[in-house]
């Protein structure tokens, strides 16, 4: 078995490509950066910054779910275990990127970075992370449902 695939089934079943998983995460990251830029350019001047963040978070969740519906089958994550593994990898990549970029590039303190995790103050970032982690499994369940 090559380094870029995960055996996701017994025997000669389908294999998940980790290379495609990583490419897909970069695609999701790009889409979320565009979402953030759109928030700054189009929404923040019109509504309160917290409301702009909330709107952007909801759009981000929709972006993640729609993109995942295209990406997960392409990656080859066809079993629940592969989908869960993919979601966890996407989650880890997202959090690592957020803290690395936020601290070393944007110069934010840990306190500022952690403020986005405060649901009680209306910050919805944790819901975006939940969507990121669960999207592959949700897509898998959607594709696995029997036709009606």
What pLDDT does 12 receive? Answer: 53
Burial category of 120 from C-beta neighbours within 10 Å (exposed 0-12, middle 13-18, buried 19 and up): exposed
Tell whether the model's pLDDT for residue 84 goes beyond 60: yes
For the chain, the structural domain boundaries read: 5-144
What pLDDT does 14 receive? Answer: 65
Per-residue pLDDT tens for 111-140? 999 999 999 999 999 999 999 999 999 999
pLDDT grade for 3, boundaries at 50, 70 and 90: very low
pTM: 0.87
The whole-number average pLDDT for the span 16-44 is 96
């Amino acid at each position: 078995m090559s380094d870029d695939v995960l055996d996701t089934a017994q025997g000669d079943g389908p294999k998940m490509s980790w290379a495609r998983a990583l490419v897909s995460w970069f695609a999701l990251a790009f889409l979320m950066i565009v979402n953030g830029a759109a928030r700054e350019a189009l929404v923040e001047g019109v509504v309160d910054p917290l409301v702009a963040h909330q709107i952007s978070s909801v759009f981000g969740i929709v972006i993640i779910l729609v993109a995942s519906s295209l990406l997960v089958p392409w990656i080859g994550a066809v079993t629940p275990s592969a989908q869960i593994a993919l979601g966890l990898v996407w989650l880890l990549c997202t959090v690592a990127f957020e803290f690395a970029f936020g601290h070393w590039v944007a110069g934010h303190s840990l306190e500022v970075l952690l403020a986005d995790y405060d649901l009680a103050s209306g910050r919805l970032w944790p819901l975006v992370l939940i969507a990121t982690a669960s999207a592959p499994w949700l897509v898998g369940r959607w594709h696995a449902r029997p036709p009606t």
